[in-house]
Structure 1
């Protein structure tokens, strides 16, 4: 038994991280169309959000969104971005990752605030429905 399959999975995970970071950099580029930017920001919000469409504790289906929906979303986002911008973003992402792990506290705070806002709206609707 070899460790080759494990290595390919790790490599795929690294590639997925690189692609997500490249999409973040491409999102900031003015040459990307508005509809692609909207799709990218929704995809990145979903990818980095702690809340999944299908919770991970549900057997088999829990990881289905992570294994199928996220890669499909990345493929679609890549097709929406001009090739020149995507290539520049990939090179820039690789350089930043090689320097150390990138952190975005502002991005993390924005995602947390969005989820709190959504939870507040749901709670408000529930209270209105209950009374």
Structure 2
């Protein structure tokens, strides 16, 4: 029961992130909203957190709270017409089954390269 709720919640967050991705590319999206989206993405993939992950439970909990809260807040701050058109594009994209995993891998490799570079200095 709890796993089905978590799976549904994760699916909704993935859809909302896809909507934000389309909204980021939309020229009608305000610049400050795009900047906030970039900040949330940078926080999500950054190895630096507000609460370090080595603290057993609380370290991972901050990511599980900050990222979804930021996604929901950014969706609410989007202009209505941008949100609707981005949602329609995300729905059609999900219907075709196109994946964004390649971008996630690319960003992860860039972070890994940056960490290795900094450790060698």
Same fold (TM > 0.5): yes
The answer to whether the aligner puts 1:8 opposite 2:5 as a matched pair is yes
Q: Displacement, 1:46? A: 3.5
Structure 2: stretches of 5+ with no match in the other structure: none
Does the 8 Å CA contact 1:24/1:44 hold for their aligned counterparts? no
Aligned residues: 119
The answer to whether the aligner puts 1:75 opposite 2:77 as a matched pair is no
Q: Displacement, 1:32? A: 0.6
Normalising by structure 2, what TM-score? 0.77
Q: Displacement, 1:44? A: 2.6
Q: Displacement, 1:64? A: 1.3
Q: Specify which structure has the bigger relative contact order, considering alpha-carbon pairs within 8 angstroms and separated by 6 or more residues.
A: 2
Change in Cα spacing, 1:98 to 1:31, as seen in structure 2 (3 Å) is same
Does the 8 Å CA contact 1:20/1:44 hold for their aligned counterparts? no
Query: Which ranges of 4 or more aligned residues in structure 1 deviate by more than 3 Å?
Result: 104-108, 114-120
| 1:25-44 correspondence to structure 2 within 5 Å | 25-44=22-41
| TM-align CA RMSD | 2.7
Query: Which residue does the alignment assign to 1:20?
Result: 17
Structure 1: stretches of 5+ with no match in the other structure: none
Q: Displacement, 1:88? A: 1.4
The answer to whether the aligner puts 1:84 opposite 2:100 as a matched pair is no
Larger gyration radius, structure 1 or structure 2:
1
